[in-house]
A and B are shown apart, each in its own frame.
Chain A
Amino acid sequence: MEISNNNIPEFKVIANGPLHVKGKITLINTNGEKQELEETWLCRCGNSKNKPFCDGSHKTAGF
């Protein structure tokens, strides 16, 4: 895997799974709440019970 030499956040698509975000980001939720995160996995399949985060539901949903 390519490793970059700076701190620009990376968005990695995981096959049949979530979006792996690595690097400093601010997540703004649907209600406007802000969260500073350094690494997170965001749901791409629409089935997580813990949106916007991945909870592994893509496996049972067959995404």
Chain B
Amino acid sequence: MDNFSKITDDSQNREYSNDEITVFWKPGKCVHATTCYKELIEVFNPRRRPWVNMYGAPTERIIEIVNKCPTEALTYKWNDEAKNKETINLKNERLKKGEGQNVTSQQAKPVTIQVMRDGPLVVQGDFEVFDEKGNKLKHMIMTSFCRCGASNSQPFCDGYHRKIGFNSEK
């Protein structure tokens, strides 16, 4: 399987529920922006199994952090279907815009590269990725590139920097 197929592999997907909501975890969509565990370690702790503790914070706080996840790696639904219809899910609206479309320079969102301490390069905006041979792989709006050298999904981050104890400040 190549690295772009891995991104769409669904077998690792998980669901975590409390009495009110269910959080959906799609690791293949994760770009390791680290927002979830930096802001709410009581719920999202990558060192713990299971890594999501739905009773670690109030539902409203969990929703707030899920909405901050820049991709659809983390999404949620109310367990009460009626509530899903009456509340606007801001995140789903945003994700509908998607990626992969052709964008002209007039519409293109400016690109920022955020360097994560002991972690990857998190890239947002409209940009194109080329492989070693110069072939255009795809147009993207969000991803993270490995900078520890240990990812098994090169050139993208797969979270392996935590396992090798990557120290970017050396």
Residues of B within 8 A of A7 (CB): 105, 108
B162 CB to closest chain A CB, in angstroms?
13
Report which of B115, B136, B147 forms a contact with A27, defined as CB distance below 8 A.
B115
The yes or no answer to B116 lying at the interface (CB within 8 A) is yes
Stretch at the interface among B40-48, B91-99, B125-133: B125-133
Residues of B within 8 A of A21 (CB): 113
Interface, chain B (partner A; CB < 8 A): 103-105, 108, 110-117, 121, 123, 125-132, 134-136, 139, 145-150, 154-155, 166, 168-169
Additional pairs, 20, CB under 8 Å, beyond known A8-B127, A23-B111, A26-B111: A1-B130, A2-B130, A2-B134, A7-B105, A8-B126, A8-B139, A9-B128, A10-B127, A13-B129, A13-B155, A15-B132, A19-B121, A23-B127, A24-B111, A26-B112, A27-B112, A30-B115, A30-B117, A44-B154, A46-B148
